[in-house]
Amino acid sequence: MSKSIRDDSMLSNAEARPRRSPAGEAFTRLVLEVAGLGTIFTAAGESLASLGNQTLARWVILDFIEDQPATVAQIARRRGIARQAVQRVADLLEHEGLAAYLPNPSHRRAKLLRPTARGRKVLRVINVEQKAWADALGAEVGEAKLQTVTRALQQIRRAVSSKPMPVLPPLVHIGRKRLDGTHKSEPPER
């Protein structure tokens, strides 16, 4: 049986947080910075998408199919989104007349999704504003610096995706044990 968090509360900060190497510390700072940027980029995407009365999720799907129709599975794979989530959004876009399903000559059941004329108008509104936003920020930061950072992030992504993820405890144990080490049937000590 593992120690409860209460037992571990006697650990000093040094024991609870082992010192990282300078490279490990730099990597951790990068992760925190990228996570913060992710939050900002998501909020900016939602704001831009709202100009076309859409959500970021809808914009991402419409943008993906703007140049070439694609199946839900293709969109999900390329965007790294769960297929079921893409299917829900695609069905909503179709229901609202922003996208349409077409027969797929390569597969009988997996239809191709393409934007309608109305969907293209919505994309135009969003993309015009996104261009202005990207152009202004790109000019402020500088093209050369952005290209250097992008190459570095691509290298980091390849390195991170080539290593196994940290091991998480099985979900069964999370549901049965409280954070303080007691079971659900036991009242936590006060």
Read off the pLDDT of residues 89-129 as tens digits, 9 standing for 90 and up: 999 999 999 999 999 998 888 999 999 999 999 999 999 99
| Beta carbons within 8 Å of 100's beta carbon, 6+ residues apart | 94, 113, 114, 116
Q: What is the pLDDT of residues 44-88, one digit of tens each?
A: 999 999 999 999 999 999 999 999 999 999 999 999 999 999 999
Q: Give the pLDDT band of residue 16 (cuts 50, 70, 90).
A: confident
pLDDT score, position 1: 45
43 has pLDDT over 50 = yes
Q: Can you give the three-state secondary structure of 44-108, one letter per residue?
A: HHHHHHHCCCCCHHHHHHHHHHCCCCECHHHHHHHHCCCHHHHHHHHHHHHHCCCEEEEEECCEE
H helix or E strand, kind and range, residue 3: none
Q: Enumerate domains of the chain plus CATH numbers.
A: 24-152 (1.10.10.10)
Q: Nearest Cα to 177, choosing from 165, 167, 188? A: 188
Q: How does residue 18 score in pLDDT terms, banded at 50, 70 and 90?
A: confident
How many residues make up the chain in this entry?
A: 190
Closest CA to 121 of 52, 49, 56: 52
Average pLDDT, the chain: 87
Mean pLDDT of 9-24: 77
Q: Is the pLDDT of residue 179 over 90?
A: no
Among 127, 94, 95, which Cα is nearest to 112's? 94
